[in-house]
Amino acid sequence: MEANQKMLDAVKWVSGTGCVIGFIIFALSFFVSDYNKDYIFTVVGIAITLSAAAIFLVGIFFVLTEEMVMNTHKGERIEPETTKIIKMKSKAKTHTKRSTEFSN
């Protein structure tokens, strides 16, 4: 976990800063409506907040994936010498004739 701690801290700071900045832009533009007549800054604030949340989720996914890969036991694959499959021997090979005609 120590190897991924730097990446986890970076993701946490970047996404946290983005969420705070996005929320501040959203709150200022939404409540001070004289400054923002078309609500463009409101949409920008929401987009920054959602983008920061997406960055956080992707970063967590990468950290968890790397942890799973590093903790997986990797060894030689051992195949059993004998199998429990019983082979059936056919006494006679019979060929069946199939018709290709269809009836109604």
Please tell me the predicted confidence (pLDDT) of residue 14: 93
Domain of 15 in residue numbering reads as 2-70
Residue 30's pLDDT is 76
- The percent of residues above 70 in pLDDT, for the chain, comes to 69
In a domain? residue 94: no
> Is residue 19 predicted with pLDDT exceeding 80?
yes
What is the per-residue pLDDT for 7? 87
Q: Per the domain annotation, does 57 fall within a domain?
A: yes
Query: Alpha helices of 32-85 — where are they, by DSSP H?
Result: 40-70
Q: Which tens digits make up the pLDDT trace of 30-60?
A: 777 666 677 788 889 999 999 999 999 999 9
Name the residue with higher pLDDT: 101 or 8.
8
Residue 43 lies in a domain: yes
If 0-12 CB within 10 Å is exposed, 13-18 middle and 19+ buried, where does residue 5 land? exposed
Total domains in the fold of the chain? 1
| 60 domain residue, yes or no | yes
